[in-house]
């Protein structure tokens, strides 16, 4: 409920490989960076299949700048170099036919129980090669599983695979045709979606029983780039329950009726991470490589209006602390575990902070050569786990007395990985480019 993936289950595995502590592994057809979602003995994931091989995923975040620099050295103009970059890094609707599919697997065995194709045809928009056409993670209330495909609509299925309703939604242009990625948030009988795009951004609520739209609130953000990929967060705090959203340059909170409650400016220009909560405080981070504004902010419950501290200040009645140069993440969402804030950036820089003050306790590179991270960290059994795009999970000592970084071990699955794993009882479900693993201590 706090969007903070931690567990106190003592039986969760700390070590694994392609053969060690693998309860089962199954192939997942197609490509998708959505995370697995579990209820009871059902595991749900989405993927995009295609009529021909898709462009391979890009690794890391510096590949575009390096490629552009090489093209300019070859004598190409900026326009010519950008054209070649777009041809390499984007997959456009006229290049491919896709099928967007929801898969259901048995948690105990990994056996595929059913699959349902939600869309077949040319994609509504392009995608960056680091993105996928199936990056939105499903959600479930135990009765139905819900899939928000930003460019196509909302889809609801019961646990036997019967479609109970679908609500078509209009597609909108994204910056540079980079595609979509924000998942729906579920609270009681409402589904909330955030769609920050280049045409008309909005946040909306839908009835989980019928798919009917309940309300829609237009959003206005200031940066030239209006697209975002952040999943909204339902924050249940001592003052109220609210819907927190992160957009380019700004975090905005809404009441469950769609009315704006507060906004926090001075955020980074890229909105991909999700807000999360701890001890009735809200944490938001944003930013990207090359930006000097990569903030982390801790917010108190009960804010109203513009809660942004003035430019020369870092706190006020509603903001516990704000650090513009904190090295806020671009892709992974931080995690708080045992009263410590752990921040992993996309280039493999890992830091521990005091969540009440923002004070940095230590900062270190995760490991030599480990420089590409998209999945968010998770924690249990005295460790924080961070998984690189190469499929290596680095196990970090999270003892409360630690003032220095200490790497305990590295677990490798040797497969490209961008999806954040799911903690399910004493199992860890890891989705790689080609497989879905159930990692469990083998007794």
More confident residue, 196 or 130: 196
Q: Report the percentage of the chain scoring pLDDT > 90.
A: 83
**211 and 224 Cβ atoms separated by less than 8 Å:** no
The closest of 201, 231, 203, 228 to 215, measured between CA atoms, is 203
pLDDT tier at 6 (50, 70, 90 boundaries)? very high
The pLDDT value given to residue 223: 67
Give the 3-state secondary structure percentages of the chain, helix then strand then coil, rounded to 5: 5, 40, 55
Domain positions in the chain are: 34-181
Beta strands in 77-197 (DSSP E): 90-91, 98-106, 112-121, 127-128, 139-140, 144-149, 153-158, 163-168, 185-187, 190-195
pLDDT tier at 87 (50, 70, 90 boundaries)? confident
- Give the three-class secondary structure for 85: helix
Structure confidence by residue, pLDDT tens digits, 252-267: 999 999 999 999 999 9
DSSP 190-254: EEEEEE--SS--EEEEEETTT--EEEEEE----SS-----PPPEEEE-SS-EEEEEEETTEEEEE
- Give the strand pairing for 392-397 and 407-412: antiparallel
Structure confidence by residue, pLDDT tens digits, 264-299: 999 998 899 999 999 999 999 998 766 677 899 999
pLDDT tier at 2 (50, 70, 90 boundaries)? confident
Q: CA 41 to CA 246: how far, in whole Å?
A: 33
pLDDT tier at 222 (50, 70, 90 boundaries)? low
Question: Which of 232-241, 321-330, 341-350 is predicted least confidently?
Answer: 321-330
The closest of 243, 328, 411, 330 to 341, measured between CA atoms, is 328
The pLDDT value given to residue 411: 99
**271 and 248 Cβ atoms separated by less than 8 Å:** yes
**203 and 219 Cβ atoms separated by less than 8 Å:** yes
More confident residue, 140 or 328: 140
Structure confidence by residue, pLDDT tens digits, 175-189: 989 999 999 999 999
The token pair that represents 11 in the structure block: 């039986």
pLDDT tier at 224 (50, 70, 90 boundaries)? low
Question: Which of 86-90, 312-316, 344-348 is predicted least confidently?
Answer: 86-90
Mean of pLDDT values over 110-122: 98
Structure confidence by residue, pLDDT tens digits, 151-207: 999 999 999 999 999 999 999 999 989 999 999 999 999 999 999 999 999 999 999
The pTM score is 0.95
Tell which CATH architecture fits domain 34-181: Beta Barrel (2.40)
Q: Does residue 63 have a pLDDT over 70?
A: no
The pLDDT value given to residue 414: 95
Beta strands in 279-391 (DSSP E): 281-285, 296-300, 305-306, 319-323, 335-337, 340-344, 349-353, 360-365, 378-380, 383-387
Q: CA 234 to CA 32: how far, in whole Å?
A: 25
Q: CA 97 to CA 185: how far, in whole Å?
A: 29
Q: Does residue 85 have a pLDDT over 90?
A: no
Q: Does residue 382 have a pLDDT over 70?
A: yes
- Give the three-class secondary structure for 132: coil
**192 and 242 Cβ atoms separated by less than 8 Å:** no
């Amino acid at each position: 409920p706090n969007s903070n993936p931690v567990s106190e289950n003592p039986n969760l595995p700390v070590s694994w490989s392609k053969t060690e502590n693998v309860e089962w592994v199954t192939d997942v057809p197609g490509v998708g960076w959505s995370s697995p979602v579990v209820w009871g003995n059902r595991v749900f994931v989405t993927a995009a299949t295609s009529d021909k091989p898709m462009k391979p995923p890009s690794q890391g975040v510096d590949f575009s700048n390096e490629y552009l620099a090489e093209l300019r050295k070859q004598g190409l103009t900026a326009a010519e170099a950008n054209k070649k970059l777009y041809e390499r890094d984007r997959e456009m609707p006229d290049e491919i036919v896709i099928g967007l599919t929801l898969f259901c697997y048995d948690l105990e065995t990994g056996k595929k129980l059913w699959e349902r194709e939600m869309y077949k045809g040319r994609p509504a928009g392009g995608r960056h090669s680091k993105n996928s056409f199936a990056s939105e993670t499903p959600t479930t209330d135990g009765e139905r599983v819900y899939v928000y495909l930003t460019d196509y609509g909302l889809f609801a299925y019961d646990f036997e695979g019967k479609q109970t309703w679908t609500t078509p939604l209009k597609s909108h242009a994204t910056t540079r045709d980079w595609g979509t990625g924000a998942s729906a948030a579920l609270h009681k009988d409402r589904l909330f979606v955030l769609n920050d795009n280049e045409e008309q951004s909005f946040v909306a609520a839908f009835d989980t029983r019928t798919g009917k739209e309940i309300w829609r609130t237009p959003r206005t953000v200031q940066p030239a780039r209006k697209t975002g990929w952040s999943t909204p967060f339902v924050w249940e705090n001592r003052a109220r329950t609210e819907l927190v959203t992160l957009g380019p340059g700004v975090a905005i909170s809404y009441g469950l009726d769609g009315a704006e409650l507060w906004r926090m400016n001075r955020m980074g220009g890229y909105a991909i991470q999700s807000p999360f909560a701890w001890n009735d405080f809200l944490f938001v981070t944003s930013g990207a490589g090359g930006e000097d504004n990569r903030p982390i902010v801790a917010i108190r419950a009960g804010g109203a209006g513009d809660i942004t501290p003035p430019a020369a200040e870092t706190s006020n009645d509603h903001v516990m602390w704000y650090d513009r140069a904190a090295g806020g993440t671009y892709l992974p969402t931080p995690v708080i575990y045992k009263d410590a804030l752990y921040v992993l950036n996309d280039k493999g820089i890992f830091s521990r902070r005091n969540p009440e003050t923002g004070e940095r306790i230590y900062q270190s590179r995760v490991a030599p050569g480990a420089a590409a991270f998209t999945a968010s960290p998770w924690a249990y059994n005295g460790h924080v786990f961070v998984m690189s795009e190469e499929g290596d999970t680095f196990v970090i000592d999270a003892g409360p007395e630690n003032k220095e970084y200490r790497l305990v071990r590295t677990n490798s699955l040797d497969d490209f990985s961008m999806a954040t794993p799911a903690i399910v009882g004493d199992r860890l479900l890891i989705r790689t480019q080609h497989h879905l693993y159930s990692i469990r201590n083998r007794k």
